[in-house]
Amino acid sequence: MGGAVAIRAAATVRAGHPRASPRRCRLSIPRQVPWRARQGPARAKARSLRAAAGPTDVFAIDVDGVLVDSEPEVTRAAIAAATEIWPETMAGADEGALRQALRRVRPVIVKGFEAVVQARMLAEHPAPDTETRILSRGAWAAVWREAVSAWGASAEHIDAVFGRIRDAEVAAGTYLEGQRAYPGVVGAMRECPYPSYLVSSKSGKRVAAVLGGLVGMEGVEEGSPRVMASLLPPEEKKVEALRTIMSRPLIAEGGATLHFIDDRVDTLLHAAEVPALSDVKLYLAEWGYCTEGERELARASPRIKVLDLEAFAELLKWGVVMGVDDGCEPTPEEVIKGVHDG
């Protein structure tokens, strides 16, 4: 067909749908040119059909690394805390280079204060092998504990200083400076017609601050039942949160599908091994704080799908990633079938 998509039939009879809706198609669109189906009237009709039957999907969404890029704030507070605790060590650091290095090693952080440990390590030894040591898969927990012990410090003290600095920023109204919602996230959350929960290792007050200040979710407060915060350690506590969501009537009795989106591959891999969560759809946010090696681990798992930002927005809007690139808007029947099959 000369590399072009032919004109499709105006109406197609499908099994189970003897009067299926017609598909509207483009003419002569080269196959090699990517094209995403536009959100047209057919999808709007399908959305209203789903809504009439009740929510079919529920979302559990991580905050840092999925909705919001908080790394600049964490880095700023980490450098300030490290400078307060070890002023002589930090005095000669190249702050610009240090900030860049801290962004590169962000994927291994579990608890925020670990960034303070990274700041001192990278200030003392600003060499590539320091970053390699930090990023070595599965090694970071032992590395930071060894470093803190060698310095004669304590994790509790480092955490307290780091937390105080961040709390002061919240009180002063400067906490959100440098943070940003990822492209398209605000619109995706606004257009999502399904119930959603926010599951985060971040404290509830900080979750509420970024949701209201950056994501356009001003009505979601710290004490909201939608906010599941301070989930540390994440592998254990996020699984508990998912179990709690699964027990709620919409899923336990209504049969809705739970989708869990996170940027931490270890959390997703752990959830994939829990029998009680076998029906949960798991997704890695590839734009978040994960390395290419971690993305490959996710792709190798039969339980985990790797999302880009475009697929994330589509998933939140329709409950399924349609992936339609044939030039035709899906009919209501196709959208509903995709929801049921996805």
| Distant-in-sequence, close-in-space partners of 95: CB < 8 Å, separation ≥ 6 | 79
**Do 126 and 186 fall into the same domain?**
no
Q: Check if the beta carbon of residue 340 is closer than 8 Å to that of residue 50.
A: no
- 307-324: string of b/e by CB count within 10 Å (b at 16+)? beeebbbbbbbbbbbbeb
The CATH number covering residue 310 comes to 3.40.50.1000
Residue that finishes a domain, picked among 172, 198, 220: 172
| Distant-in-sequence, close-in-space partners of 157: CB < 8 Å, separation ≥ 6 | 85
Domain tally, the chain: 2
Residue 18 lies in a domain: no
Q: Which of 213, 192, 206 is nearest to 261 (CA)?
A: 192
- What is the band of 113 on the pLDDT scale with cuts at 50, 70, 90? very high
Q: Which of 238, 182, 198, 220 is nearest to 59 (CA)?
A: 198
Q: Check if the beta carbon of residue 161 is closer than 8 Å to that of residue 81.
A: yes
Out of 51-55, 165-169, 271-275, 334-338, which region has the weakest mean confidence (pLDDT)? 334-338
**Do 301 and 187 fall into the same domain?**
yes
**Do 80 and 161 fall into the same domain?**
yes
How confident is the model over 166-196, as pLDDT tens digits? Answer: 999 999 999 999 999 999 999 999 999 999 9
pLDDT at 330: 53
Residue 6 lies in a domain: no
Residue 111 lies in a domain: yes
- 158-190: string of b/e by CB count within 10 Å (b at 16+)? bbebbeebbeebeeeeebbeebebbeebeebbe
**Do 134 and 185 fall into the same domain?**
no
HSE value, Cβ hemisphere, 13 Å, CA-based, for 295:
11
Residue 244 lies in a domain: yes
Residue 271 lies in a domain: yes
Decide if pLDDT at 67 tops 70. Answer: yes
**Do 76 and 125 fall into the same domain?**
yes
**Do 192 and 163 fall into the same domain?**
no
How confident is the model over 201-250, as pLDDT tens digits? Answer: 999 999 999 999 999 999 999 999 999 999 999 999 999 999 999 999 99
Q: Check if the beta carbon of residue 119 is closer than 8 Å to that of residue 164.
A: no
Residue that finishes a domain, picked among 155, 172, 189: 172
**Do 58 and 105 fall into the same domain?**
no
What is the C-alpha to C-alpha distance for residues 208 and 172, in angstroms, rounded to an integer?
Answer: 16
Q: Are strands 281-285 and 227-228 parallel, antiparallel or unpaired?
A: unpaired
Decide if pLDDT at 329 tops 70. Answer: no
- What is the band of 53 on the pLDDT scale with cuts at 50, 70, 90? low
Mean pLDDT of the chain: 85
Higher pLDDT, 293 or 338: 293
- pTM for this predicted structure: 0.79
Mean pLDDT confidence for 31-35: 31
Percentage of the residues of the chain whose pLDDT score is greater than 70? 78
**Do 167 and 75 fall into the same domain?**
yes
**Do 52 and 197 fall into the same domain?**
yes
Bridge partners for 258 per DSSP: 58
- The residue range of the domain holding 62 is 41-67+180-341
pLDDT at 331: 54
Residue 272 lies in a domain: yes
Decide if pLDDT at 106 tops 50. Answer: yes
C-alpha R_g of the chain: 23
Residue 29 lies in a domain: no
How buried is residue 31: exposed, middle or buried, by Cβ count under 10 Å (0-12/13-18/19+)? Answer: middle
pLDDT at 55: 84
**Do 333 and 279 fall into the same domain?**
yes
Decide if pLDDT at 47 tops 90. Answer: no
Task: Pull the structure tokens for residue 339.
Answer: 């929801």
